[in-house]
Chains A and B, each alone.
Chain A
Amino acid sequence: MKKDGFNFLVLLLLVCTSLFLSYMTWSQISSGPVKKSFELIENRPVDLEEFLKPSQVIVSFGQNTHTVLNQENPYFEETWGYLKSFTGKINSSVSVTGTANTDKSLQKRGIEFVFDSSLPYSLLKTLLNLNVDTPVLKDDQRIVSVVLAEEDGLSVFLKGESGELFKIGSTKEYGEFTSIVTRIKEAKTPLYTLLPKTNLYIKISKDIYIPLDNLQLPVYSVKSAKNNLQNIAPKFFPDFTLARKIEEKDGAIIFTDGTRGLRIFPKGGLEFTRPLFKEQKTKGNFKDSLTNAANFIASHGGFPKSAYLSSYKINNQSFTFVFRERLNGLPLIKSKDYLVVTVEDNQVTYYYRWLKEGEKIEERITAVSPIKAIDMAVGTKKIKEIYDLYLAYVEKDGFYLPVWVIKTDKGEFYVDAKNASEITLTPSGDDV
């Protein structure tokens, strides 16, 4: 009887362990961060803020100590919300205060909100609920970041591409700001330092913050893309009955009605073109074109919740927007741009998407120091100048791997965050 009881207990323990492990695996895949990063917005318009929020929030505690928050950090939303509530109340005039003096400002407490790509002032006004119209700031003035700094009480500045600062307001009552900065400091977020702008062996051409702690990052396996894009083919044509279907030897399917063309690649990629006649073309405005692009993606395959505006090009009469996804708050990079929309005359004339999902966490790695990544680039690539350095994910051989991205005078390099070796991205599947 005693033996039966013992066996029962062992069995019970094994069943419980099995259930626990199954739950852990399931929670990572179906409702964990992996799934969340690749969820799609499909049946509603996309709000500009959903993909234009800053990529990084640099918090300066004063005296050269900093931390950097990405969108996954619990304090990100709080700091961003504080900035918007502050800027929404500003009505004062704008003044140019010269270029940013990093050494001086590093000694003070402050928060800098850095955007993925510089945004036109006209768009930033919408994003920050700003009611400031001034000849000092033109609508097409590009802004790279918004800075809150303890100066004249608490001041808010817009930083231009050349480092010029535009002071747009200040307040003497900033207890909430102090409280947020203090709480972030007490939360013991990883400490960062400014990479020395030295020119003995290498030149650093912008303010780059590097972590002093070794960051833990997961490696994800990539899920094979399901090719169910044929279901949305009718959405690309005003009258789908007029569209001819052509199957190519490589398995790609083409639909065309004579003016529009849609190619659905065998491994889940999609390309749509709709050329406009020259006499039809007029230039739309940036904000409307961007809104159109995002909503077009949402209604033609879905807009990834983690997507952000990575870069854009303005030609004479067209805007080309390149979006990327984020994983763990970090940019996801592939061998070529995988979510691109061109808008002319407020109509989408080109659309390319090739999205895949992360499946599950395969392992967790301790990222090597960014200095090791720089050493690799200096040692093997003989680089002389660094333009930018940041953590990201790249897709490689069926995995999403954490890497240090180094932009240099000799090009852009990806350094494996696990072992500081170089990673070369090679096209695979539909991105060939």
Chain B
Amino acid sequence: MKRIGIALILVLMMLFLFTTLASAEENFTIFKPEKDSTSEKVLPISGQTEPDSVIVVFLNGEKKDEITVGASGIFATQLELTEGVNRISFKVTFPSGITKTFTKKILLINEDQMSTSILQLIKAILILK
């Protein structure tokens, strides 16, 4: 019984160690954009990941850029969005060989349409009154 307990603790410790190591080697952070919506058609993107990773950037399923990350781990690019919801995917191949895909959805709002719809909303409220 005692042996089983020790073995279980060892297995748990190994699992914890492997999980920590794996996550340490697969950092990927997007700094910009922070918000999920924008009215800017050209969107700057920046972030940080593991040095020597390769990032393939897709916009709505179409490949837009391929970045080999250098020693600083910093990367930056820009994408031209289409109106409505834009699905931005980052297919990252880490130096460990592991490939992961990270996705962010950004809504491109047309400012003119937004102000028109706000006006319509105000009108609707006034009519209701």
Contacts and interface: CB of A to CB of B under 8 A. Distances in A.
B38 A63 contact: yes
B101 interface: no
B77 A212 contact: yes
A57 B56 CA distance: 33
B70 A196 contact: no
Contacts of B77: 212
B72 A375 contact: yes
Interface residues of A, number: 26
A374 B76 contact: no
B75 interface: yes
Interface-centre pick from B35, B38, B40 (highest chain A CB count, 10 A): B40
Interface stretch (B2-10, B12-20, B45-53, B119-127): B45-53
B52 to A, nearest CB: 10
B112 to A, nearest CB: 13
B39 A63 contact: yes
B27 interface: yes
Contact of B48 (A64, A196, A212): A196
Given A371-B70, A375-B71, A212 B76 contact: yes
Contacts, number: 78
Contact of B76 (A62, A210, A378): A210
A21 B128 CA distance: 73
Given A193-B32, A194-B32, A212 B44 contact: yes
A378 B70 contact: yes
Contacts of A191: 42, 44, 78
A379 B68 CA distance: 14
A374 B71 CA distance: 8
Contacts of B74: 195-196, 198, 202, 371, 374-375
Nearest to A62: B40
A61 interface: yes
Contacts of A155: none
Interface string A365-390: 00001011011101100000000000
B33 interface: yes
Interface size class of B (residues with CB under 8 A): 20 to 34
A201 B76 contact: no
B57 to A, nearest CB: 13
A196 B47 contact: yes
Contacts of A62: 40
A349 interface: no
B33 A379 contact: no
Nearest to B73: A201
B31 interface: yes
A19 interface: no
A372 B77 CA distance: 13
Contacts of A195: 46, 74
Interface in A200-220: 200-202, 210, 212-213
Nearest to A420: B70
Contacts of B46: 193-196
A202 B71 CA distance: 10
A196 B77 CA distance: 13
A65 interface: yes
A379 B71 contact: yes
Interface string A244-270: 000000000000000000000000000
B40 A375 contact: no
Interface string A51-67: 00000000001111100
Nearest to A64: B32
B32 A196 contact: yes
Contacts of A193: 32, 44, 46, 76, 78
B99 to A, nearest CB: 21
A65 B31 contact: no
B29 to A, nearest CB: 8
14 contacts: A64-B34, A64-B44, A191-B78, A193-B46, A196-B31, A196-B46, A198-B31, A201-B48, A212-B76, A375-B70, A375-B74, A378-B70, A378-B71, A379-B70
Interface of A: 61-65, 191-196, 198, 200-202, 210, 212-213, 369, 371-372, 374-376, 378-379
Given A64-B44, A192-B44, 13 more contacts: A191-B44, A193-B78, A194-B46, A196-B32, A198-B31, A198-B74, A200-B29, A200-B48, A201-B51, A212-B76, A212-B78, A371-B70, A372-B70
